[in-house]
Amino acid sequence: MSLHNRLEAVFHDVFDDETIVLADTTTASDIEDWDSLAHITLMYGIESQFGIQFTANEFAEFTNVGDLKQSLIDKGCE
Amino acid sequence: MRPGVTMRFENSDLDLFRDASGDRNPLHGDRDYARRTPYGEPVVFGMLGAVACLGRSRAGSFRRLTSIACNFRVPLYAGIEYHVEVATDTQEAYEARVVDGHRVVLDVKAAFEPRTPSADRCAPELGPPVHRREPRRLRMHDLAPGHSVEGEYAPNWPELRALGERTGVDQAGIDLADLGALAMLSYIVGMELPGERALFSTVQLQLDPDRPGSGEELRFDAEPVTVDHRINRVTADVQLHAGPRPVAVGRLVAYVRDDVPPVDVDELRRRLPEAPGLAGTSAFVVGGSRGLGAAIVHALSLSGCDSVFAYERSHDAADNVVRTAPGPGSVIAARGDAADPEWCRGVVEDIVDRRGGLDFLICNACPSFGPLDVHPATIERILRHVSRSLELSAVPISACLEALADRQGAVTVISSSYAAAPPADWPHYVAGKRAIEGFVEVVARQQREVAFVVVRPPKLVTDLTNTPLGRAGALAPELIAAAIAKRLADDRRPEGPVELVDTFE
């Protein structure tokens, strides 16, 4: 499964919504109920899915899905 | 969804919950304490919100709670009308969320099993409350997996009964014993683990269907299972006991608020030149008791500038700024409302009398705020914030212009990097900062003898940003304070009507 699809699967699980379609420009404003609590759950889910760890700053700094994907690529995820 | 269900809390509701539960966490009742947090005012107990939400159930009372799950997403405040969206309300299940405009504040999911009608299981003569009087003050380094906190607990049963009646939860199948278990959860987080610094985030609880009624001695055991130092998050398993038997097990998540460090005078000294570049000058700082304002006052003091700073309510913090002022410039605290023209005029006259004139005005005060969506239910609060934000700069500017013009002085207003890159959650904060910037652009064209500087700092470590995610990537306010003092010491006049400072070394 591609990185994009794996990431999308995490979003589906966290938001309990299989209809979510991610784009690089997707932000929290585009997904209902993506608040700070959901964001933390999302970040934990991504760490688990990809076997990586975010730094403290990274928990809050991604402004869109594209930034998030780039960070995963930089951490060696494919 | 069932439409038209609302709820609103008054301070008396918080008092009742506090008395009933024993959760005396100051975040929920001490105005001075709450002012030093990002929330700015006392926050409604999350569990009170959940209980009140449960009280909106219309499915009847002949049932027993078997499980409950709550997510406390955004703080609740007294005096605001929230809407309750009920998704499921049957004998077996209740699912609802509390919303503020579009934003979900908390959600509750409860499961029940039927029970035969009987008299309230609570005997009227019960023991006195058993709980701590003061919260523990556990920090992250005090928390580790396996290091549990345990103790005895008893709510104030008569007050708890009153709480059940006031919230309507007594008619929704939550009997006094179960309400006691929910109150205990709030007590555990707010008083024991982690205690005073807690932000209650989520809880899931399973209740033993064969548990006894109230009146038994209650005990709790809370054991951290994961402690994440990156975002100050602790997950703990809880067990609630009545007498010798466990009656409920669950898991809770809480965040632990760090202290905001005091002004680092050594850091200011490192960033400022040795020779006081502002000797013989005077300044009026609006909003100088905490955070960036306090750092600015100390930077001015190190630079030789005598300053008066305005504060409204943070008396202890203001005292501390005066007491720890490094000198050689003097520091005086002036308590009052910077949006009151008469009061501002009095402060300026006093500065002119004492110092012969006024060289600098620095406008730093900003009302506290949380995330808001633009919605008919929130628009009044948004506009109130914008208005208050603007008046905290506009009124002092109007009061100081003449004195500043006499000295060819300068006005510095603290805006924000978010004025250029607005986050979606803060329409009020961004509109307030842009209003100040727009006001200054016009005043600068009316008053040519005064220099105008707009500073747009990035996110800083202050009370306003002191949330689990808020502090991530935040810079020390000393960086900005030193930059402002150095800019003021540089006699260079702005090239245009207004100078924008948005990059910092």
Contact B466, B258 (CB under 8 A): yes
Report the gap between the CA of A62 and the closest CA in chain B (Å).
Answer: 11
Q: What is the mean pLDDT of residues B355-366?
A: 97
- On whether any CB of chain A is under 8 Å from the CB of B415, the answer is no
The DSSP bridge partners found for residue B94 are: B89, B110
Report the gap between the CA of B472 and the closest CA in chain A (Å).
Answer: 5
Q: Strand B218-228: give its sheet, edge to edge.
A: B2-7, B82-89, B93-100, B103-114, B63-72, B198-207, B245-256, B233-242, B218-228, B149-153
- On whether any CB of chain A is under 8 Å from the CB of B307, the answer is no
Name the nearest CA neighbour of B481 among B301, B318, B292: B292
Q: What are the chain B neighbours of A55 within 8 Å (beta carbons)? A: 230
- Cβ distance A29 to B73 less than 8 Å, yes or no, reads no
Domain boundaries, chain A: 3-74
Name the nearest CA neighbour of B436 among B457, B417, B409, B454: B454
Report the gap between the CA of B427 and the closest CA in chain A (Å).
Answer: 13
Calpha distance B485→B159 (Å, rounded)? 55
What distance lies between CA B259 and its chain's CA centroid?
13
Report the gap between the CA of A55 and the closest CA in chain B (Å).
Answer: 7
**B1 pLDDT above the threshold of 60:** no
**B130 pLDDT above the threshold of 80:** yes
Contact B183, B158 (CB under 8 A): no
Supply angle C-alpha B13, B19, B23, rounded to 5.
Answer: 95
Q: Strand B498-501: give its sheet, edge to edge.
A: B331-335, B306-311, B282-286, B360-363, B410-414, B451-455, B498-501
Long-range contacts of B489-495 (CB under 8 A, 24+ apart): B489/B273, B489/B277, B489/B278, B489/B303, B490/B277, B493/B451, B494/B451, B494/B452, B494/B453
Query: Which run of H or of E encompasses B388?
Result: helix B379-406
- On whether any CB of chain A is under 8 Å from the CB of B422, the answer is no
Calpha distance B219→B207 (Å, rounded)? 14
Q: Which of B202, B231, B472 sits opposite A61 (nearest CB)?
A: B472
Q: Which residue has the tokens 């899915």?
A: A49
Per-residue pLDDT tens for A29-57? 899 889 999 999 999 999 999 999 999 98
- On whether any CB of chain A is under 8 Å from the CB of B417, the answer is no
SS3 B394: helix
| Omega of the bond leading into B273 within 30 degrees of 0 (cis) | no
Helix B176-187 / helix B157-167 crossing angle, nearest 10 deg: 100
| Omega of the bond leading into B42 within 30 degrees of 0 (cis) | no
Residue of A54, A59, A62 to mutate, testing the B interface (most B Cβ within 10 Å of its Cβ): A59
- On whether any CB of chain B is under 8 Å from the CB of A36, the answer is yes
The DSSP bridge partners found for residue B240 are: B220, B248
Report the gap between the CA of B305 and the closest CA in chain A (Å).
Answer: 36
Per-residue pLDDT tens for B101-120? 999 999 999 999 987 655 45
Tell me the pLDDT band of B194, cut-offs 50, 70 and 90.
Answer: very high
Q: What pLDDT, on a 0 to 100 scale, did the predictor assign at position B2?
A: 57
Residue B253: CB atoms within 10 Å? 22
- Cβ distance A40 to B468 less than 8 Å, yes or no, reads yes
Helix B11-21 / helix B157-167 crossing angle, nearest 10 deg: 140
- On whether any CB of chain B is under 8 Å from the CB of A57, the answer is yes
Q: What CATH number was assigned to the domain covering residues A3-74? A: 1.10.1200.10
Q: Which of B104, B231, B424 sits opposite A29 (nearest CB)?
A: B424
Indicate the average pLDDT of chain A: 93
Q: What is the mean pLDDT of residues B221-250?
A: 93
Domain boundaries, chain B: 2-115+125-256, 265-501
**B121 pLDDT above the threshold of 60:** no
Q: What pLDDT, on a 0 to 100 scale, did the predictor assign at position B308?
A: 98
The DSSP bridge partners found for residue B252 are: B203, B236
Report the gap between the CA of B117 and the closest CA in chain A (Å).
Answer: 37
Name the nearest CA neighbour of B362 among B452, B291, B280, B281: B452
Tell me the pLDDT band of B174, cut-offs 50, 70 and 90.
Answer: confident
- Cβ distance B230 to A39 less than 8 Å, yes or no, reads no
Calpha distance A23→B165 (Å, rounded)? 49
Per-residue pLDDT tens for B364-390? 999 999 899 999 999 999 999 999 999
Q: What is the mean pLDDT of residues A8-26?
A: 95
- Cβ distance A60 to B470 less than 8 Å, yes or no, reads yes
Q: What CATH number was assigned to the domain covering residues B265-501? A: 3.40.50.720
State the ipTM, two decimals: 0.94
Contact B285, B358 (CB under 8 A): no
What distance lies between CA B95 and its chain's CA centroid?
28
A:B CB pairs within 8 Å: 40
Calpha distance B306→B300 (Å, rounded)? 7
Supply angle C-alpha B259, B224, B53, rounded to 5.
Answer: 80
Q: What are the chain A neighbours of B231 within 8 Å (beta carbons)? A: 40, 56, 59
Q: Which of B103, B104, B231 sits opposite A40 (nearest CB)?
A: B231
Residue of A nearest to B475 (CA): A57
Indicate the average pLDDT of chain B: 93
Q: What are the chain A neighbours of B201 within 8 Å (beta carbons)? A: 37
Report the gap between the CA of A23 and the closest CA in chain B (Å).
Answer: 18
Contact A62, A68 (CB under 8 A): yes
Report the gap between the CA of A3 and the closest CA in chain B (Å).
Answer: 25
CA quadruple B472, A48, B205, B104: dihedral sign: positive
Superfamily for the B2-115+125-256 domain: Hotdog Thioesterase (3.10.129.10)
Q: What pLDDT, on a 0 to 100 scale, did the predictor assign at position B124?
A: 44
Quickly list H helices, B168-231.
176-187
Q: What are the chain A neighbours of B230 within 8 Å (beta carbons)? A: 54-56, 59
- Cβ distance A33 to B104 less than 8 Å, yes or no, reads yes
- Cβ distance A28 to B424 less than 8 Å, yes or no, reads yes
- Cβ distance B231 to A56 less than 8 Å, yes or no, reads yes
